[in-house]
Every structure is written in structure tokens, then in C-alpha cells.
Structure 1
Amino acid sequence: MNLRKHVRCFFKLICKPRIREFLNMDPCNAIVDKYLLIGVFIYFIRAHFEAKDYTTRNFYIALYLCHEIHEEILLILSKSDASYRQMRNEALLMLQMKRLQKEIRQKVTIMVASAITGEGREEILNWMKKQSITHFH
């Protein structure tokens, strides 16, 4: 099956009443966001699904798997080399981190980074390696 057909099958699937109702019940994307939907789509492609395999049941199974794999979130505060580094706390306040951490079940890790100085580069790479080892081995 080519990519175009996968796309058609996927859009046809998410337009089914049962899935559409489920997605409409989550207008703030607290349960399903566009990244999880993309993850479901990629699972379907990697599983070499045919048109007949694009079912509501398979959608929910793949969505569950995507949700479980994306257990941790990395929030990178960039431009730490800029003169307004003190704005880090203000940025966190704007993001309402305490409220966010209460409302989502994923662990949020915050790191500071600079593309100019390289600050945070190793920590970010180590975090990513840890995630890939935890979830894909």
C-alpha cells in the first residue's frame, strides 16, 4: 500500500462516528494531541496495515501504545546565553508549570540550553538516549 492510500485510510478512520465523538470529547487535546495521532498513523504504516486493518479497535490499541511510550516530556528553555536569562522563572510562570504538572500524567523535565555556547547539549542528548533505551529496547 502506498503512502497516499495510507493517508486516505487513516482520514477515513478518524472520521468514523465513534472516533470522531471520542476526539470531540477532548477539545483541549488533554488525551489526544496531533503528535499522538501522528504516532498512531506511523504505527499503522510500520505494521504494514492494509485498508482492512484500519479499524476502530486497532486505532485505540495504537493510541494506547503511543500514550504509554510518550511518558516523559522534555521542556527546553533555549537562548540561555541571552542577556535576559533571568526571564527563565518568568517563562516558567507563564507556562504555569505547577498547574501543568498536576494536570498531565507525564513527568516533565526542564533543561536550559544554548545553541551558541552549547550549554545543555550533553544533558539533552543523555536524556534522549535514556528515553530510547527505556522505550525501544
Structure 2
Amino acid sequence: MLSTVATCTTSVKTFSLAQLQKATDGFNSERVLGQGGFGRVYHGTMDDGNEIAVKLLTGEDRSGDREFIAEVEMLSRLHHRNLVKLIGICIERNKRCLVYELIRNGSVDSHLHGMFKVFLNLLTLDWQELTTLSA
């Protein structure tokens, strides 16, 4: 399936598992940025100093390679200021990784929860406190 990856993913870089292990200190738990239903995301630093986010996908079933490659193709074509850019992939030794640009200042989830907390705090203020804030 690696030959398919090479021919299908012309707009993203192919990383070796060794490169990503080195960048993430062996997928060290101290480098975990977050976790979702499809795997953990690690903070990585490449040899050239570029910082990346590496999503190590869960599941070792190789039957989904075609779907994975199709998704990578789609993600590599999506470019929008509100989307994290897909830089590359790794398919090696039954491991699949997606490599993204690193976004600073926390996750989308933490920003949304932070805004929700501010909203809840505003709801608990009385009328006088609200008018003081707007002045």
C-alpha cells in the first residue's frame, strides 16, 4: 500500500515513523496535546526546529488504507484560515499518523470551554454589575 501512498499524496510529505518518534520523544505521554476518538495528538519538534502536531491514529487494522488515503487526499486539498493545515502522513509498521501544523494557544476545545465559562459568569452577574462592565 505504500506505493499507493506515494502516488496519491503529492501535496503532502511522507514522514518515516522514525522521524516522528524522534520528533515526539518516542510518543512521550508528556508531549500529548489532546486525545480524541481516533487517537492521541503529540507535540513534535523536527530536526530543523519546526514544531508539528502528530496524530497517532488508533487501530492497527490495515483494511482501511484506501479510506485513509482518500481522506488524506481530501484533507491535503482543503485550505482555509480556520482549518489546521495537513503537512504530511506516515504509514509504517501498522501505524498511521497525520502530521499537522502546530497551532499555539491551546485547542479549539479549550477555547470553546473558556468562552462558555465567560458566558456563564456573565449570566450570574446582577444588573448593576453588568452596567458597570459596559461603562
Q: Which has the higher helix share?
A: 1
Look at both structures and tell me which one has the larger radius of gyration over its CA atoms: 2
Q: Which has the higher strand share?
A: 2
TM-score, normalization: structure 2?
0.22
TM-score, normalization: structure 1?
0.22
